[in-house]
Structure 1
């Protein structure tokens, strides 16, 4: 399946006692697909994977794979090392792995290229490079991103540079053939789509899912009259949903709307303040 359209990095809902709320996770995943998401992402940062046990991560992956299989939807699974990639081999619903540019160590462009070449050679599925330099501390030029795109087994990128900067404009002005540029910065997703990104991975789309799907479709169909005001409204919503560390506000809103049993997050995150929740809810109303 092509890597385009709306992908949602699914949260991990918790019950009041802090355990994973499995029925709520399944219901939420089904609802997101029915409301217009083209596919889902398992175990992205929005899912709080570092706070989950190995068994919980495995079960989250299996549950979302089953939902996507039943709905004929693609699943992207976060996997950052050979062991995590091997886990994807016997899960046919997983169509790609979301793999982070090595964080903190700053290996430089040559190191990043060598890293992804090795992982792609060992991976049972194509890789989507997760480029988020304000978290990894590893900037990459458009030229380096094109070199990444040329690697066998690299199918796309989640582009989350935090801005519409010259490197982003350069890449989208001439994207490599067959290389999917998926926007990953919720607040600026509309201008990224206007520049030609074929899709997005958006945590904000847990709410107003149909509107985010409509935004992507409007830019794809060349309808700026519809896309611009919709993009402005959704940018304000995304800013409210990211007013505190993700996914705290998203969870608070989902809980307030009765879609998950609690607004709980696991440490080091803490629950969103009531004011942040209410500000996002007001924009939805």
Structure 2
């Protein structure tokens, strides 16, 4: 495949504005894990090549639990992507994080139950560090960009990732709040884990749509969509600057995450597995 991209944007279709790109094209990519959520839009912005992947497919037709995140991340790896910016609508678990605020989280608490979250199984074992699930280098840059534009941004915070697609019960919401978590959503896992396994920097622009159900107001999909649409303009504005200003020279741990992490002896990894995962592990074997 000849197509390449430097930066990937993953999120809802509302944040994509292909009009900012030149030489726009759509590509269909096959992976050993199946097809990504949809075709990937690629274009140029200055000297950067950018790709957009609609996480839930065009028209938002794929449930969080049904996302083929392995195919999504593997496809971006095949494109040569170095940095992923994930856009995500979230609920707030803190009074001070109001709807329409922006959070650049630095931690994740995983409450998912049924999602494949590794590329490495069936003959290969990889124990990879995941203490800091978001790329600190890219996250810091995005915080600076968002603040310079005057947005109300919280730097850091814990994103609790629930299974969904239902919203929380009141009991769950109150427990998450009592545990000190900041925001709640349904998509950071396994995206962040798989991006780290693929040695791609992963960072998130999380936009608050509601206070979840610990607050006096119930969460309604109408309110979530209304606020998500209001947040889209801010996310687009930040992303345009990110495309231009994010360094592609990476000094973070993400780019070498697999170094020393492949536990299985190289001569014991099945040949077909090596061939299948070559874009991920080739340089480490």
Q: Output the TM-score relative to the length of structure 1.
A: 0.26
More helix by share: 1
More strand by share: 2
- Structure with larger RCO (C-alpha < 8 A, sep 6+): 2
